[in-house]
Amino acid sequence: MLFARGRSSSSIDSEAIRSHSVCYIDATKDGDKLSASFVANGNRRRSRSQSRATSGSRTDLSTDDENGSSAAISGRPSPSSCAENAILTKEGTKTDEQAKDGPPSSRNNGSKETPGGNAGVVSQQRQVSRSRSAGPDTISNSGKPGASRMKTINRFSNFVKSGMESYILTQSKMSSEPGERHEVIVKNGRIMWAPPSHKYTCLVDKPKKESKLKGLKSFIAYSVTSSLTNIQVSRRYKHFDWLHEQLSNKYLLIPIPPLPEKQVSGRYEEDLIEHRKCILQLWVDKICRHPVLSQSEVWQHFITTTDEKKWKNGKRTAEKDEYVGGNFFNCVSVPTQPVDSASADKQVESFVKSVRSLDDSIKNLYVCITETQKRLVGPYKANWQKMAAALDSLGQSFQLDHSSAPVKSAIAQSANVLHKIGAQHEEHGKTTTEQLMDFIYTYKGVLSGIPDVVNIHKSAFAKLSHNDRLMMEGKLSPQEAEAIHRRVEVITYAMLAEINHISQEANDDFRLSLGTYFAKEADFYTNIGQQLGKLADQFKK
């Protein structure tokens, strides 16, 4: 009887395997390979072998949870869940004698299985997925198991990858002293970065086509000269791009202005080179005026190093810098007075609303200026020169009448002047109007980086609230909570200082750029008016 019963069970298992073999094959196509084997008592053993493509990836993190949750949400079991349910039902109803033999060997023997079927297995799968992807929970300095909840499980979030969480939870261990120090001060009731001891400017000039590898590779190099040292260095676009990446990784709460777009076709054309030089100049000006970026080690290396060997060594040093991301705040000193969290939160929210409104206005202005520039170099130029051609034709008609020599001369001169005015419209569009477009492009890029800055600050506030709740529950010591609170205050002070700098820069930038633009517009149209006035005098008796 027992033999018959065992044989029947074995046949059911074989039948279940055959009927659902397609399901298991489909489930293993994505690289997270599952294999199912069965022992003599009918129990199923799962083993997992990770492929290189998905090990440690987001797919690896969510493989188990997605299979269980998708069927529950849709109400329609997937093919793979059908096979598991058929086997799990048998496991849930096994006899006491089978239970005494203990569970089959697996990679997660420590997890406790619930004898209810799917619910227990899903929870077990979640434990396996969590331990694979996130590793063991980090225990706090006090050694309390409850304090391990401080650390975020999702290690793929920007807040975790940037090192902000490790900084807040005082888990960062530095092996060297920081090479730069920055201070946040309170002046006249305003929180701001401490001004640098020396202010300076940099000039981007003399774009020159150079080559290497005996002419096999050519590129455009720009000279960068600092007024602080008067040292002239030669830098390629890829060097600016590398510097932009280093600054973005190190200074998370500072929106780095954008570089000109990289263009492959026509990259040696004179207009493109000049256009790129103008945007690089705007970019360099923004860096020089920032109280933190202007004192950055990697920036100073960029504008002062002329020796090729020292340049490469400095690049490697910058790429290995420990004080990047969240660790940068170890270089920032702030006032001892605590920050009013409610007031700081309101100030940040007000800043976000202002930036959102400003961003919409800037985009609209950019569209209008772009259309104006296209008209200047296109229809406006063409209309003036068509008028010149018509006057030239009129002047030729007057050649038949020898008594109208003065009028004929004035008409011919008018044709020349109008043709010149048409060319001046094109030149004006390519210089004055395009310079304003470049400024708006740069400022638009700065505004686009502000949401990421604000989100980092919000994540820090959320982490602080979570840890305060843990302290109230007795899962976090007061000393640890105070250390976390102090570090979040450093981030808040830096955020408020950067908000003040951005607001002040906006006032100065728009006052200078729009003032320069309208001054040049006035000169342009005044010049046209003077030329037309002289033409009017030619037709007077």
Check if the beta carbon of residue 165 is closer than 8 Å to that of residue 326: yes
Please say if the pLDDT value at position 531 is more than 90.
yes
Q: What is the pLDDT of residues 70-101, one digit of tens each?
A: 433 344 444 444 444 444 444 444 444 444 44
Percent of the chain exceeding pLDDT 70 equals 67
Q: Which residue has the higher pLDDT, 400 or 441?
A: 441
State how beta strands 232-236 and 202-212 pair: unpaired
Query: Cα separation of 206 and 234, whole Å?
Result: 9
Which of the four pLDDT bands, split at 50, 70 and 90, describes residue 4? very low
* Cα-based angle 512, 292, 498 (whole degrees, multiple of 5): 70
Where is 220: in which H helix or E strand? Answer: strand 217-226
Helix (H, G, I), strand (E, B) or coil at 483: helix
Please say if the pLDDT value at position 261 is more than 60.
yes
Q: Which residue has the higher pLDDT, 119 or 307?
A: 307
| Helix/strand/coil percent split, the chain, to 5 | 65, 10, 25
Distances 534 to 34, 282, 523 between C-alpha atoms, Å? 88, 39, 17
Give the pLDDT confidence score for residue 270 in this predicted structure: 80
Query: Cα separation of 508 and 427, whole Å?
Result: 27
* Cα-based angle 341, 342, 344 (whole degrees, multiple of 5): 65
Q: What is the average pLDDT across 289-300?
A: 95
Distances 405 to 383, 402, 457 between C-alpha atoms, Å? 27, 6, 78
Give the pLDDT confidence score for residue 30 in this predicted structure: 43
One-character DSSP codes across 294-346: GG-HHHHHHHH---HHHHHHHHHHHHT-SS-GGGGGGGEE--SSPP-HHHHHH
Q: What is the average pLDDT across 61-65?
A: 38
Give the pLDDT confidence score for residue 473 in this predicted structure: 79
Q: What is the average pLDDT across 372-380?
A: 94
Other CB atoms within a 10 A radius of the CB of residue 212 amount to: 9
Q: What is the pLDDT of residues 39-55, one digit of tens each?
A: 444 444 444 333 333 34
- The DSSP secondary-structure symbol of 258 reads P
Please say if the pLDDT value at position 214 is more than 90.
no
Give the pLDDT confidence score for residue 216 in this predicted structure: 78
Mean pLDDT across the chain, nearest whole number? Answer: 75
Please say if the pLDDT value at position 120 is more than 50.
no
Q: What is the pLDDT of residues 318-331, one digit of tens each?
A: 999 889 888 899 99
Please say if the pLDDT value at position 312 is more than 80.
yes
For the chain, state the CA radius of gyration: 35
Please say if the pLDDT value at position 124 is more than 80.
no
Q: Is the four-CA dihedral 391, 395, 398, 403 of positive or negative sign?
A: positive
Domains of the chain: 2-134 (no CATH), 193-253+269-321 (3.30.1520.10), 353-538 (1.20.1270.60)
